[in-house]
Structures are given as C-alpha cells and as structure tokens.
Chains A and B, each alone.
Chain A
Amino acid sequence: MGSYLLKRSATALLVLITLSVLVFSLVRWIPGDPVASFVDPNNPDPEQIAAIRHSLGLDRSWLAQYGSWISEAVRGDFGHSITQPYSVGEQIRSRLPVSVELGVLATLFGVLLGVPAGVASAVWRGRLPDLVFRIGSFAFLAIPAFVFGTFVLLVNSQTLRLRLIGYVPFSQDPLANLQRMVVPSLLLGLGLAALVCRYVRGTLLDTLGQDYIRTGRSKGASPARLVIRHALRNALIPVTTIVGVQLAALVGGTVVIENVFALPGMGNLLITAITTTDYPTIQASILVIGALYVAINLVVDLLYPLVDPRIRVVR
C-alpha cells in the first residue's frame, strides 16, 4: 500500500513537471520578443535593449529562467498580468474558489441524481423508470447546459425573479451564494448525472449477471439486499474514474455556464487571457488547472484500493 501511494504520487509529480516545462516553453516558442514593446522600433538602442533584457532576467539561460519562474509559481507568485492591474496570483486566488465550488456542487448533484437513476434503470430494466431515465439522460447529454441555462433564466425573469446571476462569496453571505450557485451547478450536474446514470445502468446490469449475485440469491438475500449490499459497490468501481475526470474538468472551468450566469471562474479567466494574449495569466491558468486534474485523479487512484480490495495486493 505504501509503495502504491509513493508510486502514484511520483507519477503525478512527473506529469506536473512535464506540464510546467511545456507551459514555460510555450511562450518562448511563440515568435516575437517581449523587449520589442519597451523600445522604439525605428531607433533601437542596443544598450537599452541589453539593460531591459538584464532587468527582466532574459539574458540568463532558459534553465535559470525556468528555475526562478517555477520556484515563484510554487509559492503562488505568477508575476504580473499584462492587461490587468492585478497580479496573476491574486486573480487566480479570487477565481479558483468560484470554480471549485461550482465543480464540487455539480459533481455532488451529478452523483446524487445519476446513481439512483442508474440503479432504478438497471433494476427496472426495460420498464417505465428505465425508459424515462434513458430518454432523460439522452436529452441532458445531447442538449448543452447553456440552452437549459438560458431557458431557466428567461422563465425566471418572467416569473419568480430570483437573483440567479452574478457571484457572492460564500464567506460574505452563504445563502445568497448558494442561491446563485445552485442553478448553474445543477445544470452542469444534470449533464454529469446523465453520464453517470448510463454508466451505472451498464455496470450494474453487468454486475447483476455475475455468479456471486446468484450465490447471494442462493443464500436467501432479498432483491434489494442483492443490489445494495452485493452489486452496487462492485458496479460503482468503474464509475469512480469517470466522476473523477469529470470533476477535474468542471473545476478546470466551464466557460459557457460561467458566461451565462456571469460567474468569475477559471474558465472565464482563461478565455479573457487568451483573447488578450496575456501570457503570464495563460501560463498560470494552465498550470493551476493541470495541477487540479493531476491532484483529483491522484485522489481517485488512491481511493481505488479502498473501494476495490483486489487492488490492495496487486501493487
């Protein structure tokens, strides 16, 4: 178990280092010299250029530049944004919580709605609940969340007139925060729930056909006990993986939903940075989102042995 943990953590670290090198090189491969914006293009003064290069640290080797960039990044200092009057670190610190809250809530909805729907679909296979959930999940997979989002906002503006747009930090007003977060995360969660429902239905049907379910029946276990005690845990093992990947994707930024509901999240930040070629922000966002992916998948991998005892021995 110890070596499993160590091995997985080492792989995760390796992925992160590779990502950081890629992100670092990215900006240096793009044609153009950052010094160009500081000097008069018609009358370049070599000494002035050299001075600027020196002050920016560009005269050092790439390795030295990478070293100082990554050591500052690790401490949360990503330098200054080119287009915004804030440091990149400040921006990420203000936006990350929004995305994390959205992602976690959406995943929660996805699992809480998707698993029971999948179970019902499998248990009543080919009957009414199965039909309803399968058509429903198709709809939520096929129709993008922003369509539903816009629809909800339109209806709301004509009827209830709840405040659903904008963002209030949780620390400032928890109720107002939840009121604004619940609809976008539910909409995102429905898409995930549709996916989870289909997965759970498939894996559960597969599991219910296994020999040990027949053994359970021969012991006198009731149908409910067979599903809950024997089948569900085995069926959820493969579902863990997709939920983990989806959670990472959701936290990494959901551009459209953030835009529809005017939420200042990571997706929004990255898109703005890309349209204004704000390289320090782009670099930092990619690095942070990548780190989140790696961290969440690491957690999922470490959870695996807890769910599936067979993995504990097979390294």
Chain B
Amino acid sequence: MTDTRTPALEVRDLSISYGETTVVQNVGFRVAPGEIVGVIGESGSGKSTVAMAAMGLLPPAARNESGQISLAGMPMTGLSEKEMCRVRGARAAMVFQEPMSALNPCMTIEAQIAEVLTIHGLSGKAAARRRALELLRLVHMPDPELKRKQFPHQLSGGQRQRVMMAMAVAASPELLVADEPTTALDVTVQAQILDLILELRQDIGLGVLFISHDLGVIAQVCDRVLVMYRGQVMEEGTPDQVLHHPQHPYTAALLASIPRASQRPRTPLTVIGGTFRVGDRLSPGDPAGGGANGPAAGPEPASAEPDRPVLLEATQLVKSFKLGRRRTLRALDDVSLAIRQGETYGVVGESGSGKSTLAKVMMLLARPDTGTIQYRGSRVDPGGTRRDIEDYRRNVQMVFQDPNDSLDPRYTILRTVAEPLRAVGLGTEETRHRVERSLAAVGFDAEVLSRYPHEFSGGQKQRIAIARAMVTEPSFVVLDEPTSALDVSVQAQILNLLLEIQQRTNVTYMFISHNLAVVRHLSHRMAVMHHGAVVEEGVAEEVFRSPQHPYTQRLLASLPELERSAEAS
C-alpha cells in the first residue's frame, strides 16, 4: 500500500486523429486504484477512442498526435506492439459491449480464461485451468464446474459477460476498461453485472474506466464522471455534481433530453441544439439548465379516458415454438389486451419475454396457435374473413429498431417511402405527392427523394422509416424499440416526432421497449411481459407509481435511475 498515490491510469493532454479529423483533443484525467471513472458522451464523442487508446488497441489508421498515457506509473506511449502485448491482459484488461461476439465461439470458456494466464507466463496449463474455475466462482458464475467446459453459445448474455469479467481480472490487472459493459444486457442482468464490478474494485482495488451512454448507469457506479463531446472533455466531477448540478451547457442539454419521471408524460423533450465549447458556462436561468426538465407546461396530457373506443383487441393469444423434440417455448402464453383508439400502448419486457412475438402476431406476420385479434370489432386473425384481414393490413404499419437494417441500402428514399403505397395502388403522381407529404411531416424536403439511406445519419434514417410507416395514413403502428439504437439526443427528437404525429393524426401506437423511462414518457397504458405472459397491465403512470406484480417491482427496482441517485445523495 505504498503507492496508492500512483494512479492506475493517467492520461495527459491526449490528442488522436484519423487523417484530417481530430477525434480526441487534449483529454486528460486520472483513475486512482479502486476508483471508477465514468465517461459519458454520444456517438462520435471520442469516448471509445479514449478507451482503446488506454489499452493500446487503436486501429492502425489512428494517429497519436500528442499526450501521454501511463499505466500504474509506467509510460505506455511509444511502446512497441510486443511490449504492449505484455501489458495488455496483465496490467490493463478490457470488457466489451457485446459479450456474445467478444468471446471465441470455438473455444471453451475455461480455455479462454486460462489463456490469459498462460500468455503472460503466470502459470502452467493445469494450474491456469484450476485458476479459471476459481475465477468463475469469483464472478458468481452459476454451476461453474459444468459451465467451464461449455462454449459461449451455451451461456446466457449475463453469464457471457461474467466470463468476460473473469478473463479481465484473471491476471490481477491494475486497470479495467469497461466499454458499455451492460448496454447489451437486460436491466435485471445489468444490475447484477454492475454489482459485480463494484464488488471487484473493492476486493482487488481495481481502477475502472467505465464508458457508457447511459447516465443512469454512470450515476449508479461511478466515483467521478467525465462528459465528452466531439473529442473534448466538457465537464468533470462527481456524479452528483455533473448529473444534478451541471455547470456546462452541453451536460445540461444532454440531461434534459432524457425522459424522466419528474417530467410530465407526453410533453416534448428538449433537443440538443447548437455547438458547445470547452469552458462554456451555464448562465443562470437557462431553460435547459440545472438538471431541470424541458417545458413542463404544455397541454394537459390526455390520460387513458375510458370512453375512447377500443381499436384493437387481442384475446387469449398463444404462440409456441418447438425448440427440440421435447421442449417447446411458449412465446405468447394466453395474452389478452385491448388497445384504444389514439392511445400509445406500451409493452415492456426483457429479452425473451415475448414482446417481439406479440408485435409479429399483431402485425399478422406470425400466426397465433390459438386466440383471436379483433380490429374495430371484426376478426382479423387467420380466422377472420379475407376482406377484414385485407382492410386491417392496409391500416397497420411498423417501425423497427435499427434503421440501418430496416432500410434497403439500394432503394432511393422515394422508393423506400413509397413501398407501402404499392398495396394501395395509386398513380405515380399521387404516390410522389403522398411520399413528399409524409417526408415533410418528419422534416425532410423533396430534395431527399433521389438519395440513398447511407447518406443519412441514424436518427435521420429512423425518421425516414417513420415516414414510410405513416405514408399510408395507418390507424395503428407498431413501434418495436424505435429509439434503442439511437443516442439520447436523437431519441428525444424521435420521441417528440412520434408524439407530434399522434396529436395531429390520432394514430394508435403499440410501443415496445426495454427502456422503462421511454415507455413511461410515451404511454397512456401499458403491459409488462414476462415469460410470454402479461403479468401486469394498466394506466402507465399507475404501473410506475405502484407496481402490483413482483416482477414489475423487481424490474423497476433494477432500473438505474438518475432521480434515485439524487434522492440518495
């Protein structure tokens, strides 16, 4: 304990560029042993580049313009690849976002953990394998004797991330770099992994550099926070300072763009605008400042008045999939729900809860085993008449999670948005007119018609996907995680747009998400799904205020919440 003053990681005046573009500029910070330092920022903020630089894992195209990185007092800048290999894994380790693709599919997890020790000559093969078992126990892997002989695909997402953690701490490094380590996980699993990180830093005095775009997660685990924007650190401080009393306008704007419990549901979120510079200060009384939320005033949100007519009613839907000879999965287990005209019906649940199967069945993309779906009082499930089903199909549209996947890269925007109209059978002129109108509603003018998806950003692509869904003027739109692939500031834009369209056209949404805050912000009523069944249903605000079902309570409790950390402090 002589050198507790030596930081686990020290970055001084770091600048990195790709060609002409500077992606990290004059960044400096320290991570003390046992300290967790969070870096938040949106895509393109340079937070991952800093993480990679700390590990010496920058791609060859990146050029280190200036600055020093030292690991536990040892300078890392200028080390050869061979010398870096001795540092990586031994003194600095890394955990990545996607634990499935981050593990070698053809090696047992034991071999992958043991490898860290043998590479660095810390133990022989047999001893390394024994140590791998101990490490699996350390990260609380259930049934470690069995699991160690298994391959990554046989584990759950959370278990895979535990393997990554076991690998990371195997050689007792001074520094752990965690790049969005819980982003791909469900909230309850996320809570477990965060607990594990907190436990490990306590037990082995690990310094942690924690990269995330999720401010709730950052607030929960970090001792200090850096806010990055376009390659520069805008603000630094304790989570309480930064997230509740931000000094920099960018931080304030970022915070304001996140839907929160204190904001009235279905009111517009603040969208980040303009550019920010290091040293900008928030002027008192700034509308986006002080962690205050966007305009609280606004039209009184129409809550779920009971007199709205039911638009869509699903009764006792069952859908099962055969997994093997004997095992079947009940993806939908006796699901009944009623969606009223003009409302947003939220569906929350973790992966595997059946929410996407529900979306497919409601869209008539999958056939339920039993159960009925009624649209305006007529059956539209496979048992209904052809006319009713066709009428329903013309009135329903869908928006998907990742606009990079859901737009055909070889279609122009005109062809993309016009596609749903083919079923309607309009002339060329009328089609073009409708497409232009739909694009105008999401904020594009006619000059985008001949362009291709790759020319647009993620948020713009999602707006195009929304224009495509709205072009037929549907009465019901299924939104399947429409903002999960987007940055929070872009998410705010999309949520505002969806609200605005609903107010104008009275369209009905089924909004599927694992993000509870977003569902709370948007939904009139909601359902909570777990193992294929709806365990709780009701008016959204009431479900969040007083959850009745134990699963809902657990789900809400595991949600890292900015507000909760404020109450604690």
**In the assembly, what is the distance between CA of A297 and CA of B153, in Å?**
26
* Contact B119 A211, beta carbon cutoff 8 Å: no
From 325 to 362 in chain B, residues with beta carbon under 8 angstroms from any chain A beta carbon are: 325
Would A220 and B89 count as touching, CB distance under 8 A? Answer: yes
Q: Decide if B119 touches A309 in the complex (CB within 8 Å).
A: no
Task: From the candidates A214, A220, A225, A234, name the one contacting B87 in the complex (CB within 8 A).
Answer: A220
B86 lies within 8 A of chain A by Cβ: yes
Q: Shortest Cβ distance from B105 into chain A, in angstroms? A: 6
**Which one, A210, A217, A310, contacts B88 given CB within 8 A?**
A217
A129 interfacial contact with B, CB 8 Å: no
**How many Å lie between the Cα of A219 and that of B167 in the bound state?**
8
Q: How far is the CA of A309 from the CA of B87 in the complex (A)?
A: 31
Q: Is B90 an interface residue (CB 8 A)?
A: yes
Q: Which parts of B44-71 form the interface with A (CB within 8 Å)?
A: 55, 57
CB–CB A220/B103 < 8 A:
no
B 294-319 to A, binary, CB cutoff 8 A, 1 in contact else 0: 00000000000000000000000000
Count B interface residues, CB 8 Å. Answer: 32
A210 → chain B closest CB, angstroms: 7
Q: Are B120 and A220 touching (Cβ within 8 A)?
A: yes
Closest Cβ neighbor of A233 among chain B residues: B106
Contact B153 A220 (CB under 8 A): no
Selected from B85, B86, B103, B120, the residue in CB contact (under 8 A) with A212 is B103
B101 near A210 with CB under 8 A, answer: yes
Contact partner of B105 (CB less than 8 A), chosen from A216, A217, A219, A310, is A310
Chain A residues with Cβ below 8 Å from B398 are none
Known contacts A211-B98, A218-B89, A313-B154; is-contact A223 B106 (Cβ 8 Å): no
Indicate with 1 or 0, residue by residue over A284-315, a CB within 8 angstroms of chain B CB atoms: 00000000000000000000000111100101
Contact in complex: A310, B151 (CB < 8 Å) = yes
Interface residue B94 (Cβ < 8 Å from any Cβ of A):
yes
Q: A217-B57, A219-B119, A219-B167 are in contact. Are A211 and B102 (CB under 8 A)?
A: yes
Q: Mark A154-170, 1 if CB is under 8 A from B, else 0.
A: 00000000000000000
Tell me whether A219 and B96 are in contact (CB under 8 A). no
- Nearest residue, chain A, Cβ from B97: A211
- CB pair A215 B105 closer than 8 Å: no
Distance to closest chain B CB from A44 (angstroms): 62
Smallest CB gap from B89: residue in A: A220
Q: When chains A and B are docked, how far (Å) is the Cα of A229 from the Cα of B89?
A: 17
B406 contacts the other chain (CB 8 A): no
A309 close to B116 (CB less than 8 A): no
**Residue from B88, B106, B116 in contact with A308 in the complex, judged by beta carbons closer than 8 Å:** B106
Task: Check B104–A218 contact: CB distance below 8 A.
Answer: no
Looking across the interface, which residue of chain B has its beta carbon closest to that of A222?
Answer: B85
Closest residue of chain A to B105 (Cβ to Cβ) is: A310
B103 near A219 (CB under 8 angstroms)?
A: no
Query: Are the C-beta atoms of A220 and B116 separated by less than 8 Å?
Result: yes
Known contacts A223-B81, A310-B153, A315-B324; is A218 also within 8 Å of B105 by CB?
no
Please, how many angstroms separate the alpha-carbon atoms of A222 and B80 in the complex? 12
Residues in A whose Cβ lies below 8 Å from that of B116: 219-220
Set of chain B residues within 8 Å of A220, measured between Cβ atoms: 85-90, 116, 119-120
Complex contact A212–B101 (CB within 8 A):
yes
Looking at the assembled complex, report how far the CB atom of A168 sits from the nearest CB atom of chain B, in whole angstroms.
43
Interface range on chain A (Cβ under 8 Å from partner): 20 to 34
Answer whether residue B115 sits at the interface, using C-beta atoms and an 8 A cutoff: yes
Are the C-beta atoms of A221 and B153 separated by less than 8 Å? no
Alpha-carbon separation in the docked complex, A309 to B55 (Å): 30
- Chain B: which residue is nearest A232 at the CB level? B106
A230 at interface by CB-CB < 8 Å: yes
Of all chain A residues, the one with the shortest Cβ separation from B177 is: A218
B96 near A211 (CB under 8 angstroms)? yes
A231 → chain B closest CB, angstroms: 9
Are B102 and A219 in contact, CB atoms less than 8 angstroms apart?
Answer: no
Determine the distance from Cα of A222 to Cα of B106 in the docked complex, in whole angstroms.
Answer: 19
Chain B residue nearest to A211 in the complex (CB): B101
B324, closest chain A residue (CB): A315
Contacts of B55 on A, CB cut-off 8 Å? 218
User: Does B255 count as interface, using CB distance less than 8 angstroms?
Assistant: no
Q: Is the pair A219, B88 in contact by a Cβ cutoff of 8 Å?
A: yes
Give the shortest distance, in Å, between A2 (CB) and chain B (any CB).
12
Residues of chain B within 8 A (CB-CB) of A225 are 119
User: Given the interface contacts A211-B96, A216-B104, A218-B55, does A309 sit within 8 Å of B151 by beta carbon?
Assistant: yes
Knowing A214-B96, A309-B106, A315-B324, say if A219 contacts B57 (CB, 8 Å). Answer: no
Question: Is B93's CB within 8 Å of the partner chain A?
Answer: yes
> Are A215 and B102 closer than 8 Å at their CB atoms?
yes
* B89 and A219 contacting across the interface, CB-CB below 8 Å: yes
| Assembly CA distance A262 to B324 (angstroms) | 54
With most chain A CB atoms within 10 A of its CB, the pick from B55, B86, B90, B107 is: B107
Considering the chains assembled together, what is the distance between the CA atoms of A215 and B120 in angstroms? Answer: 15
Identify the closest chain A residue to B94 (Cβ): A218
Q: Are B88 and A218 in contact (CB under 8 A)?
A: yes
23 sampled A-B residue pairs with Cβ under 8 A: A3-B325, A210-B101, A211-B102, A212-B101, A214-B57, A215-B103, A215-B167, A216-B104, A218-B55, A219-B93, A220-B86, A220-B88, A220-B90, A221-B89, A221-B115, A222-B119, A230-B104, A234-B104, A234-B105, A309-B105, A309-B151, A310-B105, A310-B153
Q: A212-B101, A222-B85, A233-B106 are in contact. List 11 more A-B contacts (CB 8 A).
A: A211-B101, A217-B88, A219-B88, A219-B116, A220-B87, A220-B119, A221-B85, A221-B115, A229-B115, A308-B105, A309-B153
